[in-house]
Structure 1
Amino acid sequence: MALMITDECINCDVCEPECPNDAISPGEEIYVINPNLCTECVGHFDEPQCQQVCPVDCIPLDPERPETQEQLMEKYRIITAA
């Protein structure tokens, strides 16, 4: 699954630089995650780095975008090959 940022986001700016795929960017009101670039850090780290640094725990899995570990790894390969 891709991750998502909920409206509990306080715009603290700590998640964006942690994303190895540049999937996080400022949105209209809060930060947003591009699900086409989010691999939950698969291929880079053992755990999603944005979740590790978020002080308010507002980055859950996106239930609208279920993906297997294999799908996340394939997405990682495509992203890093570009």
Structure 2
Amino acid sequence: YSQNDLVEYSPVTEKHLTDGMTVRELCSAAITMSDNTAANLLLTTIGGPKELTAFLHNMGDHVTRLDRWEPELNEAIPNDE
């Protein structure tokens, strides 16, 4: 990934621009540090928010969905589609 991939609040990924990060490291950064770029990079590997939502639906979860990328993912808009 590059500087262009960095979004607001990326405390771990911003430190690894030259050496990169493994998927495991990105997962750790996203989960333990709420690193937004790590979350976006992981979403990219699975096809984006719509693909994650489709996967969840296929697993039987018809409530959870992702409509945006980080950091906009944190917004809650009434009647959001």
TM-score range, shorter chain: under 0.3
Looking at secondary structure, tell me which structure has more strand per residue: 1
Answer 1 or 2: higher relative contact order, Cα 8 Å, separation at least 6. 1
TM-score where L is the length of structure 1: 0.25
